[in-house]
Chains A and B, each alone.
Chain A
Amino acid sequence: MSPNSFDIPDSRFTLTYPGWIIAGAILVLTLLGIASIYVTDTHYVAGHDGAANAMKQAVRVIVALGVAIFVVRVGYQQSGRYAYLIFAASVALLLPLLVAKLTGQSFGGLITPRNGAFRWIQLPGALVQPSEFVKLGLVVALAWYLRYRKNYRRFAGLLLPCAVSLVPLALILMQPDLGTALLLAPVLFVMLFVAGARVGHLAILVIAAAAAVPFAWQHAPDYQRLRVTSLLLQSESLRRLVIENPEKYEGIATRRQALEWSASAGYQLVHSKNAIGSGGLWGQGWGNGVYVENPLLPDRHNDFIFALVAHQWGLAGSALMLLCYAVIVAAGTRIASQTAEPFARLLAAGVVTLIACQVIINVGMAVGLLPITGMTLPFVSYGGSSLLVSFVAAALLVSISQHRPYLLTRDPFVFKREHHEDLHETRPRMAAGVDRATMA
């Protein structure tokens, strides 16, 4: 299918086919989320019971839907015009958190650490998590920058987006929030890949990142390393081996860590897997089951809500959920492939990657395939910032699917070596030479 085919009509003010199926999938996901939040009493305190939380979440869905409709009406092109501004503003939101952490200033009670992390800003009426907005800000800025060939075909052009992405990554890492920080890396890589960066250049980046891993491992705090080794320690036989020959398995965990694992470092994983596994094929039913009735699984209404859904509706529910995400990702990829405009295509690919990576990481950690990090499940988890960002991201996809420019040029991103040589490589080089001459 060529991007220049005219098989889909441009319907600017009606929701197109991909728009409808994305909206349908989101509806199913938000309903599953609200239904699960409704039956989970989180803190046994007035104002924090399940019904109140579900009500709050429903209001947030309505607000987020309003914002999403607004975004569709305005059109994704506007996000391109203000791309760098959006990115700068979202990064600027992270700065007060860093200042609060370094100076201990709370900005009049706006920023207080929770469980040792400076991750949230308490605005009147809403708790805002700025790192959620940075994800989308980065996607928009990268799409706007990478739409030019000279930026993505040359290694020097790739260094700027990498360097710029490192700023929010470092800021989020300092909060500390390893999960969100590491989410930015695949988003960056996929956008460079989709834009058409040379395979050799991408390989250099991958090798550089891989070379940094041992260093990061050495300098990571113990609890973070234990999260990774927890994946191995899931195995009861390995734990027994470590307990019996602690010297031999020193690299994995100490004897005491293995001994205590199931009730300390592995506590959340053990209970998450218990909740998912005990759901079986059809689940315990809505509002039923051990893990709904007892607060055994921490964060079961936000980061571990997948376990709760799988517990109540079994494999049927968890498969339905994965299917909904698959629909969104497939529709998003189709939208990306059908649009001819470079910015739109990159934006769609970035949004799809953002959603897909979050789902893979969140579900992966719940089932014990990936290390546990603080990562929300888009459209489902309890929390305003995540919900708003997910809805805006989906709205951008829908908007792209509706604005399809007719192009009478060569296909974007498709070029041969000779185009590359004569059109883009020579001119900037000459310009640079002139600059140097006049300066001298």
Chain B
Amino acid sequence: MPEKRLRILLIVFALAGLALAARLTQIQIVQADYYRAKAEQSVILAPNALPFVRGSILDRFGEVLVADRACWDLKLDFAAIAADLASDDVVEQEYRQLAANNLQLMARRLRRDRRYAHLQTRELLIDAFQADMRTMWGDFTWFSVIANGDAETDHRATAREIFERITRIRRVVADRRGFDAPIAEERLAHTLIAELNAEQQIRAREMFTRYPWVRIEPSASREFQGSNVNHERPSGEPFAHVIGRVARVTAEHLADDPERDNPFGRYEPDEWIGITGIEAAAERVLRGRRGRVIRDRDGKLIDEIEALDGADVRLTIHAELQRKLYELLEYAVLARPDSSGGAIVVLDVPTREVLALVSYPSYDPAEFAWSYPELRDDTNRLPLLFRAVGTRYAPGSTIKPMTCLAGLIHGAIQPETKEHCTGYLFDDVRDGWRCWEIHGTGIRKAHGPIDVIEALTGSCNVFMYRLSERLGIDRLTAAFDMAGVGRTTGIGLREEDVGINPTPSWLSATLNRTVTPGLPRLYSMGQGEIAMTPLQVANLMATYASGRWRPVRLFAENTPGEAALYRAMPGGFGTEENASPEWRLPGSPAAWNAIRRGIFGVTNDPTGTAYKYAHFERDGWVLSGKTGSATAHPWPTAYRIAYRDDFGQERVAIVRAGAKGPAIERFKYENPGVAFDAESVEVAARWPKNPPAEGANHAHAWFGGYLQRVQKSGGTGSPPGQAGFTGAMPPAATQPDFLREPRIAFSVLIEFGGSGGQTSGPLAKDVSSALLDVLGPNLDPDHREMTDVTQ
């Protein structure tokens, strides 16, 4: 039997061998001529890449916000760049040989060029090349002056930067491969002047075609568009943060590219990649794949693979609303000399589609390349900060309804429970645990005996202190967690900050602190470590309005094709691992009714904190909302680090960062191997540079709210089943329809704006008015006013 089995084994191997032999005969004898022709072709024919167009970003109606615009790039062969640096002692020792080799290569190339054919020896060719390079740099300066009126740009320095970038890529590739070898980038031409328009490129062709190493190639640049008829400001400004930016790929991008072996999908040097906002989040969708064409020497088409243009990304943003709110926010911020900026977020409550994501100050994306240093150094306004999504603030009193809801859920209070507010938590300790101060008067507000509705309406701190003591920190932070504090909103933007929910475990792990009785008191009114973004507060308002927490959506998903597209985005919106579940918050109808009546009272009860500023009723809609004044401290924006340089000299570096840890990380990254004293690191600059004067209210002004239908039948205003319950209702005839889910929720923040009611209240009123203007009397997100008469 084993003999037999060995024989079977041998037969199996023999059969496999026969199959191989048969296949070899087929390839090497029968089809030999076909393969011989193909082998010859593959050397002679050089493929040319076909460019693709990056997808556009659209608003919810398909209006183009940003799109690719055709332009031309002026490029220089790498060999010429390197050869020009051969006689330059600034080049690193490691790559001096590379420059010298390229000088020889240029000489060999020029020998074949008929313009240089009269030069016989290599030395003469090198001399001619170097002389021509010198005149070319002169031509470049002259070209900049006549094309842009710019005599400052040092193009030779740009060329040196390109050389350094390529050698850096070469080092990364060498580390990966294990040996140093030429890389593909050394065979390419690299962009020296980007984005020439039609007129400039004709002029450039006139001036530079005499240099065989200069190329002028078609390219594309991102251009912000949109109906700009009635707007004097640059059209991109309201959208700059949410749309984000593209930048040239770096060596790190190239090294991490999952498609680096695929000539159609991989990033090539000088290509664009989205680095912030939607451009980064939807990079995979927006980016296309290049094609390839092969022609023989007579120009006959041998093979063509068409390019695949990137897909468009449609957002849920309502462009007209976004523009309008940006203007409102700008006026509101500029009216406060202390304020450094602000944000407005508008959500559609049933779907949680983001209708507007406004952050002020912003910048003009068309001018970004030139204004970047100025924007970066503006520590007073921090215009590069995406406040609506990427910056966290203490939520202030906007979180109080959640504290009350937790109390009602756990039975710590009943809707009827009354607490006595004397203006102070402890009558004998008057410098701490106070209720809020009536503006500019120095008078503490004493609410007297109040129930939960009155506590919310009057934003009583003492009520919250007592309630939080009964709840304890665990139940309080668990309730905050349900409301989305410290959770991602699911928006899918890389800039998103998830905020902080200060649970006991977070406190011990991050701050190494134990829970003291004071902490739940602080958190119950949204102060202390608790932090949220304006987007989270808007979603919190939608949660109050509907009783459900849901992830927000920034990408429109109306067709199945679009849905599949977004699911394919890595880490993006709608992927399985990123899809946050939706849940209904607990709480009896009575509890929810009390919360919503409290929020309603803030803007509609004469005792409400925002009644004076934000009482709004129009077209059958009434505004409910909660004010918040979050005590704020100026933030550090830069750190001073003392270190010793290579010569042992003591030096000081200013590193831009928001905290000590990142500052040290960044310093280490920028100065590898340099010794410094971690103890000596101190704050060098704070934001804003001129914080509000001493004695003024150091607070961010919040307003979060939603628009509710006014009840048509003039009934009691109490939903069925809650008829026995009477809260502190205003005498006014207006009664909201609590049974119908509010349509639109929003949040408004003005940094260092002072009191929430006084500063953000009027803005909230303007926002409500704008919402009705733009979305129509039904507050339908898919409604828009046709402002452009030409359409």
Binding site for B on A (CB under 8 A): 43-45, 47-48, 112-115, 122, 127, 190, 193-194, 196, 256, 259-260, 263-264, 271, 273-281, 289-291, 294, 296, 310, 314-315, 318-319, 322, 325-326, 329-330, 333, 336-337, 345, 349, 352-353, 356, 360, 363-364, 367-369, 412-414
Contacts and interface: CB of A to CB of B under 8 A. Distances in A.
B430 interface: no
B263 A277 contact: no
Interface in B1-50: 1-3, 5-6, 8-10, 13-14, 16-17, 19-21, 23-25, 27-29, 31-32, 34-36, 38-40, 42-43, 47
A259 to B, nearest CB: 5
Given A280-B32, A315-B25, A333-B6, A264 B263 contact: yes
B182 interface: yes
Chain A binding surface SS class: helix
A289 B14 CA distance: 31
Report the contact-size class of chain B (Cβ under 8 Å from the partner): 35 or more
User: A-B pairs with the 8 shortest C-beta distances?
Assistant: A277-B35, A413-B2, A278-B39, A278-B36, A315-B28, A280-B32, A274-B39, A277-B27
Given A260-B262, A260-B264, A274-B42, A193 B28 contact: no
A85 B275 CA distance: 53
B19 A122 contact: no
10 contacts: A44-B182, A45-B182, A114-B177, A264-B263, A278-B40, A322-B17, A322-B24, A363-B20, A369-B20, A413-B1
Given A290-B39, A296-B42, A315 B263 contact: no
A113 B658 CA distance: 35
A223 B604 CA distance: 62
Chain B binding surface SS class: helix
B17 A353 contact: no
Given A122-B178, A260-B264, A280-B28, A290 B305 contact: no
Given A43-B181, A281-B29, A329-B10, A256 B5 contact: no
Contacts of A281: 28-29, 32
A333 B17 contact: no
Contacts of A336: 6
Given A260-B262, A356-B13, A290 B43 contact: yes
B367 interface: no
Interface of B: 1-3, 5-6, 8-10, 13-14, 16-17, 19-21, 23-25, 27-29, 31-32, 34-36, 38-40, 42-43, 47, 175-182, 261-265, 289, 292, 305-306, 308
B13 A273 contact: no
Contacts, number: 150
A342 B490 CA distance: 64
Contact of B9 (A45, A263, A353): A353
Nearest to A113: B176
B181 A315 contact: no
A367 B5 contact: no
A256 B308 CA distance: 9
Given A264-B264, A296-B42, A360-B16, A319 B24 contact: yes
- Please indicate which of the listed interface residues A275, A289, A291, A363 has the most CB atoms of chain B within 10 Å of its own CB: A363
A219 B42 CA distance: 36
Contact of B28 (A43, A115, A279, A329): A279
A263 B3 contact: no
Contacts of B180: 45
Nearest to A412: B2
Contacts of A315: 24-25, 28-29
Nearest to B44: A290
A395 B324 CA distance: 83
Contact of B31 (A260, A277, A414): A277
B29 A294 contact: no
Contact of B21 (A48, A319, A337): A319
A45 B181 contact: yes
